[in-house]
Amino acid sequence: MVKKLILLFLVWRIFLFVPIVIAEQFIKYRKGFEYTSLNHFLDKPQGLISHFMLSAWGNFDGIHYLLIAANGYTVNAGFFPLFSMLLNVVSSVFGKAVAFSPMQYFVSHAIVSFCFIVSLIMLYKLIKLDHKDNIAFFTIVFMLLFPTSFFYASIYSESLFLLLSLLSFYFVRTNRWFLASVCAGLLTATRLVGIAIIPALIYEFVKKEKSLFKLKSLYLLLGFSGILGYMWFNFVNWGDALFFIKAQGAFHNDRSVDSIVLIPQTIYRYLKILLTVNPNIFEWWVALLEIATFIFVSIMLFVALRKKVRFSYILFAVLCFLIPISTGTFSGLPRYALVLFPIFIALALVKNRFIKIAYSIIGLSLLLILLAVFSKGYYVA
């Protein structure tokens, strides 16, 4: 099965070049958004990485991760450190880490690809603990067909986040609490929503051990190590342990960083956008994609509960879902939903073939469109 999963990954990865080639022929880079392109930061052409088929994978957030990996933090504290640290350490093996150098770029792709391939294998093994082969396999297929799955191939932290979350759950299921907690700690150093793993691990511990008050429950404290370490770093460098939250407000995405916004308020805001903004504006379509993703994820989490997907997985996914959508916007949600693996398990468990076929067709079509416009400087998630 490992060979089958690797083959599936390779087919998916090669397919992702298709929309980029099409976009190069028919779409110009979005005017005024050249700063989102990796090529914008290259002093001179850097060989292969300047080619449109490769440079697109480092656009938008990829630029920040590469900069942090080479130069450390300046004002981009909104990006958690583990992914950039990993890029820095591995790149340094081959020489001094230099931002946007060919070596750094290809090392980053090697890391992303490795993390995602191992994630697919671990997801399959994790699902196999509760379900049959076909459920595990189609869960992976549906994840690859998700409209923003191309972020797993980009220089983003999604692949690392998915891997660490799956490893943590797998180690829990096989009663290796220390390893599970170490992975949880690393997860909270990868993205803020990584803290969602801690309640899920506590639930699993109590379920298995019948009590939280056992000596090995102290391992669970390691889950806080990543975010506490980053909070300390923020305090030392900027005098505010929560500076990384405030830094999110600098991204101009209308995200509230000082209060929780109720979900009905956010839904009302999106309905107002869809009813009053001209659909000829690209952002109108992004808003439609974001609220559609909200609806889809909400439904699939409910289906996961009805289909009795393991509750700790659902708890993790629900918290990962609630944290970003409680900030007054669904911005980025089409990408954030990628790591909510229980929704893909739920989809695989659905018996209605029409729903699965419809999802596959719509997902594949949107994947083509979103990657094409993303490669040309249009923000999609």
List the chain pLDDT tens, one digit each, 381 residues.
889 999 999 999 999 999 999 999 999 999 999 999 988 887 665 566 778 888 899 999 999 999 999 889 987 899 999 999 999 999 888 777 777 787 888 899 999 999 999 999 999 999 999 999 999 999 999 999 999 999 999 999 999 999 999 999 999 999 999 999 999 999 999 999 999 999 999 999 999 888 888 888 899 999 999 999 999 999 999 999 999 988 887 776 778 777 889 999 999 999 999 999 999 999 999 999 999 999 999 999 999 999 999 999 999 999 999 999 999 999 999 999 999 999 999 999 999 999 999 999 999 999 999 999 999 999 999
CA angle, residues 302, 305, 266, in degrees to nearest 5:
30
Question: Running DSSP on this structure, what letter comes out for residue 278?
Answer: -
- For residues 342-354, one letter each, b for 16 or more C-beta atoms within 10 angstroms of the residue's C-beta and e for the rest, the string is bbbbbbbbbeeee
Task: For residue 154, give the 3-state DSSP assignment.
Answer: coil
Question: Running DSSP on this structure, what letter comes out for residue 113?
Answer: H
Indicate the residue type of 269: R
CA–CA gap between residue 210 and residue 75 (Å, rounded): 45
Indicate the residue type of 84: S
Tokens 């090995």 correspond to: 216
Q: What is the tally of helices (H) and strands (E) in the chain? A: 18, 0
CA–CA gap between residue 242 and residue 75 (Å, rounded): 14
